[in-house]
Amino acid sequence: MRTTAPLLDRTRTIFKIRSSDLIFLVIFAVLFLVSSLVLETFFTSRNLLNISRQIVTNGLISIGMLIVILTGGIDLSVGCTVALCGIMATGLQRVMPTPLAILVALGVGLVIGFANGFFIARFKLQPFIVTLATMGVVRGVTYVFSETPQSPVDPLFRSLLGGGFIGVVPIAPLIMIGFYFLAWFFLNRTIPGRTIGAIGGNVEAVRLAGISVKGHLILAYMLCGFFASVGGIILASRLGIAQPSVGAGFELDAIAAVVIGGGVMSGGSGGAIGTFCGVLALGFIDNLLNQFNVQSYYQQIVKGLIILAAVISRRKK
């Protein structure tokens, strides 16, 4: 009995489904069923491939947002980071090799994340205020770098990333899925990943254990900036053009994916698998709204209501 009891407890934990999660699953299941009956093109292979490519940018941003939310923080600068890193990876191809341009863009994403984490951890400032300020700075830097859209000069930039295929499978979704496996391993099987989750649960306990809270906060925001930069590079590759105005509202989609997937805004709760499911759900919803010709501003209303409902249902009592 002593050996089987812990196993039974772990099994119950694994298969435990909160009522809020069950409600969301039922709503999405009904939504997909009705849509498949109304729209003949919804479950076609072509439409599903389009969805898989369209969710990549939000999927990558959501990984970083998950890591930050686990600490009890938030990053409002991810959309601007997407724009800056995408346009840098594209525009710098005119003066340096494409791989180096991509590395520079990734480095810029890390620097933005480091700046956010440093000011939040060192001066104990509110993440909302810091990343809001960073959002304005990064957006301005983006327009300083280029006021006009940039197109890649290297054809491999498009064919190997956002526009590439392995057989009939797009490369970009495979990259995203690979990063989700890495994120799951990092958060569940490494000490820094577990520490990041513990900070959101009880930051004082982490501090009393002698673990550097500041260092792990900086790491969390650096990872968020990195994933936003990867999302921006792949988005520019998929579209074949990088625009300085892109990225507005991307943080809303990422936050929605995290909270739909089980994340709690106060920190300490959430996971890579749940976030991935949230990204898929939002991708299907966007696709449905587009097929029903719903205007973009109505789509933002829907997403805002989804976030509100998810946050209320998962609030800590």
Q: Would you give the DSSP letter of residue 165? A: E
The Cα 54–Cα 245 span in angstroms is 18
Burial of 73 (0-12, 13-18, 19+ CB in 10 A): buried
- How far apart CA 5 and CA 118 sit, in angstroms, is 44
Strand locations in 99-231 (E): 165-166, 169-170
C-beta neighbour count of 109 within 10 angstroms? 29
Residue 264's SS3 state is coil
What span, in angstroms and rounded, lies between the C-alpha atoms of 263 and 280?
Answer: 15
Nearest residue to 54 via CA among 298, 311, 289, 317: 289
Q: Give the position of tokens 């959430």.
A: 270
What span, in angstroms and rounded, lies between the C-alpha atoms of 88 and 101? 7
Single-letter code of the amino acid located at 221 = Y
The encoded tokens of residue 250 equal 């991307």
Q: Are 130 and 120 in contact (CB under 8 A)?
A: yes
- Residues 98, 104, 110, 116: is their CA dihedral positive or negative? negative
3-state helix, strand, coil in the chain (%, to 5): 75, 0, 25
Closest CA to 83 of 269, 227, 245, 230: 245
Q: What is the pTM of this model?
A: 0.91
**Phi-psi domain of 166 (left: phi exceeds 0; alpha: psi -120 through 50; beta: other):** beta
Angle (deg, nearest 10), helices 272-291 and 56-70: 140
Q: What local confidence, expressed as pLDDT, does residue 213 receive?
A: 96
Show pLDDT as tens, one digit a residue, over the chain (317 residues): 444 444 444 434 434 455 656 666 777 777 778 777 777 788 888 888 999 999 999 999 999 999 999 999 999 999 999 999 999 999 999 999 999 999 999 999 999 999 999 999 999 999 999 999 999 999 999 999 999 999 999 998 988 888 888 888 899 999 999 999 999 999 999 999 999 999 998 999 999 999 999 999 999 999 999 999 999 999 999 999 999 999 998 999 999 999 988 888 889 888 999 899 889 989 988 888 888 888 888 888 887 888 788 778 766 55
Q: What are the structural domains, with CATH classification, of the chain?
A: 44-313 (1.10.3470)
